[in-house]
Structures are given as structure tokens and as C-alpha cells.
Chains A and B, each alone.
Chain A
């Protein structure tokens, strides 16, 4: 690269940095969703995305909304990290078990303290959905994007995004209802057993 190219790059980064900072919280939330709520993995993914932007491997050329472009890069990076993780897990037998445990709600006692019970049930129901359905719900309800913008992030057509959205709502409703029924049944059993004793 010539000196002129480096100057142009620095200028672009100077303009991009404030935008990246403004969207940092939303970016982290999206990275969490892409990494199945694994906080450490989401941080790694976000750092990899910033590194790509600094190295010029990911360039915003103004073809779409900046947020849409950034979220698409985060999604692609998370998928790549996930594939690499799966490959590593297949190589080490012990690593396979840890990778599965790691991908679930930032496992540990701290997770139970931070998240309310309803939220845990909600996340459990969300986790049962296919990836595309989970993504479209997060982008529309969490990130407040339109369906068109969500389709751009996911790399699908607007029709396909709408289909995923409708199915996701239906399935999530079913899972949440089932979770509530199971929860109520569990508490009723607990109450009955304490009443008897």
C-alpha cells in the first residue's frame, strides 16, 4: 500500500470509529445472540470484527445502512468462529463436552443470579428455535430493525425473512406456553409436597 492509501485508510477509520462506538452496545447484544449467549465468545467476535475493520479486511463502501453492514460482518465472523470451535471440539474429546456446555446461557451460578427466572425460560424457549428464526426475532425486537434491514443482515430476501419471522413468532409462543405450563406444574408439585409434609 502506498502512503496515500494509508492516509485514506486512517481518514476512513477516523470517521468510522465514532459510529462503531455509538453502536457498540447494540453490536455486543447482536454478537451475544450469534454466539448463543456466550459472553466471552461474543467479546472475541467483536474484537475480531474491529480488527478486520482496522486491517481493511472489512470495508464499508456505503452500499447499505452502516448498522446493517456492521451486523452482517458480526454475523459472518461469529459463524466462522463457531465453525472453528466445532472443528477444535471434534479434535479433542474433552473439548467437545466443554464447547457444548459453554454455549448455553453463560453457564454457572452467576448466570442464575443475573437473569430472572422468566428470562431464563424465555432464553430457553428462544434457544429451541432454528438459527434463522432466532436471528430475525432478535434483529426486529431487540435491535429494532425493519424486516428489510434484518433480511440485509441475514443475507436473505425480504420474503424469506418474513417467512422466518412468522414461523419464529408462532414457535416461540408455543415454546413459551409449554414452558409456563411445565413451570406451573413444577410449582404445584412443590406446593403439594410441602402441604403433605
Chain B
């Protein structure tokens, strides 16, 4: 860049300033070493902080994985396949005496997880007992029956009673009453 009159004057002033500044410039090695010392001092703490952050992230990740696997196990328990309805005992049918109670049969092995077998067997025993209780009848229930049971259990029919009574009365009394 070609400099004109005033620019040359400014340049001369700057060059003079530059010469003075060069004498005042600190040693490069001194400043560089100071910077390196500071950098080395900060680096281990930075490493520790990165390690700490990494540890926290790892802990959170493993916590999330553990909670997910725990939820999955609960879901397996809740969603364990129930036997189809035709295999379940129909308690209402048993009371009415229409159909005999069917014993509970568990699902085939291939449909059940292995670790649930013992629990299902226990449930099967409970259900079988419940169905047995539902159909049980006392051996002395016959003793509770009586000949007048029909009369005692039925409501009185008043008009029917008066008609039957009329059949006992003589014909003369009936004419007088009229």
C-alpha cells in the first residue's frame, strides 16, 4: 500500500512506538510456562469432573434399566394369561343345579412361564376347593323336610277357602242367608 504524506508521518510515529514496545516485551518462555502451569493445574480437576459426570450418567442409566426390568416383571405377573372361560368353574350354574362343577385345568405347559408353575398349582387347588364347597350338601338335609312344607311355604288363598267352606254348610241355611 503506497502511503501519502500524512500517512508516512503516522507510520513514522507508529514505528517509533513499536521500537519502544519491543524493548518492553516480556519473555515468551516466561509467559508460555506460566500458561502451561495453569493449564496443568486445571487439567486433573477437569478430569475428575468429567469422571464424576460420567459416573452420575452411568448410575442414572443403570437405575432406569433396573426400574424398567422391575416393571416388566410386574407386567408379566399382571398379564399372565388366564385360562379361557370354559375352563373356569361356573359357580351360578352349580347353585341352580343345572350343570355339575368342572374342575379347574391349567393351561398347557408351553403357554406358561416356568417360574409361575408352582403359583398356578396353588391357585388350582384353591379354586377346586371353592367349587367343591359350592356343591356340597349336608347328609341330614332330608330330616329338615316336613309333610306340611307346601302349606307353610305357600301364601293363603282366601276365596278358595270360602268356597270350600260352603260345601260343608246345609242347603236351608244357605237359602236363609240369601
Interface presence of A29 (CB below 8 A): yes
Instruction: Establish whether residues A54 and B36, one from each chain, have CB atoms under 8 Å apart when the complex forms.
Output: yes
Within 8 A of B (CB), among A18-49: 20-21, 24-25, 28-29, 32, 39, 43, 46-47
Which residue of chain A has the shortest Cβ distance to B22 in the bound complex? A25
Picked from A21, A55, A137, A140, the residue with its CB within 8 Å of the CB of B28 is A21
Which residue of chain B has the shortest Cβ distance to A115 in the bound complex? B20
Indicate the size class of the contact surface on chain B. 20 to 34
Given contacts A28-B25, A119-B16, contact A169 B7 (CB under 8 A): yes
Interface presence of B6 (CB below 8 A): yes
Instruction: Establish whether residues A47 and B35, one from each chain, have CB atoms under 8 Å apart when the complex forms.
Output: yes
Q: In angstroms, how far is the closest chain A Cβ from the Cβ of B1?
A: 7
Instruction: Establish whether residues B1 and A146, one from each chain, have CB atoms under 8 Å apart when the complex forms.
Output: yes
Instruction: Establish whether residues B14 and A50, one from each chain, have CB atoms under 8 Å apart when the complex forms.
Output: no
Interface presence of B31 (CB below 8 A): yes
Picked from B9, B10, B34, B39, the residue with its CB within 8 Å of the CB of A55 is B39
Picked from A29, A32, A51, A142, the residue with its CB within 8 Å of the CB of B35 is A51
Q: Is the interface of A mostly helix, strand, loop or mixed?
A: helix
List, in ascending order, chain A residues with CB within 8 A of B25's CB: 24-25, 28-29
Indicate the size class of the contact surface on chain A. 20 to 34
List, in ascending order, chain B residues with CB within 8 A of A28's CB: 21, 24-26
Which residue of chain A has the shortest Cβ distance to B6 in the bound complex? A173
List, in ascending order, chain A residues with CB within 8 A of B6's CB: 169, 173
Interface presence of B38 (CB below 8 A): yes
Q: Beyond A20-B32, A51-B38, A141-B14: 8 further Cβ-contacts under 8 Å? A: A25-B22, A28-B24, A29-B21, A29-B22, A47-B31, A50-B35, A114-B20, A172-B10
